[in-house]
Amino acid sequence: MTENDKINHASLALMVIGANLPLDEITNTLGIEPTKLIRQGDILNRLPLIVAGEDEWIYAQELESPQGRDEIMRTILEKIAQSRDGLEKVKQYGEVRLRLHVQSNYAQMAYCLMPETLSDLARIGIPLDISSVSWGEIGM
């Protein structure tokens, strides 16, 4: 495998998770179109069978940009911050959180959040999950 074959992927998602979510109302309140909607009972995986236990409203964006991942993350956070009043209203329907997902073939990986990005996260005031997957390839 060459260096160019290695997977190195990151995304940031705003998620609303709960039972019987009013998905259209969440979209209208936030003024953001979801990139994915999951309804309770949807099949998430076939082997083994995993079924969604709750509804999920998801707005996810890849963190790939010529300016760098931190800059695109800050752009996404600014868009979310513009819906801050809407976020407070949406909290009545379910759990609201951000998820930073990083996936790589590298055995070790890290993701650096700059101070400005941390300030943006604090201003939005919702939890951030960090999810990482590494296939654990050994060697450089």
Q: Is the pLDDT of residue 51 over 80?
A: yes
**DSSP 8-state code for residue 52:** -
Whole domain around residue 127: which residue ranges? 3-137
| Average pLDDT value for residue range 60-70 | 77
Helix (H) or strand (E) holding 76: helix 69-81
Q: Distance of CA 6 to CAs 14, 94, 103, 132, 136, Å?
A: 27, 37, 10, 15, 11
Q: Distance of CA 29 to CAs 25, 40, 85, 106, 134, Å?
A: 6, 21, 9, 40, 36
pLDDT for 67 equals: 60
Q: What is the pLDDT of residues 113-128, one digit of tens each?
A: 889 999 999 999 999 9
Greater pLDDT, 132 or 18: 18
pLDDT for 102 equals: 84
Q: Is the pLDDT of residue 137 over 70?
A: no
Pick from 122, 34, 133: nearest CA to 74: 122
| Average pLDDT value for residue range 34-61 | 95
C-alpha gyration radius of the chain? 17
Q: How many domains does the chain have?
A: 1
- Alpha-carbon torsion 106, 101, 73, 39, what sign? positive
- Strand ranges for 79-127 from DSSP E: 95-106
| Average pLDDT value for residue range 91-118 | 85
The rounded mean pLDDT for the chain is 86
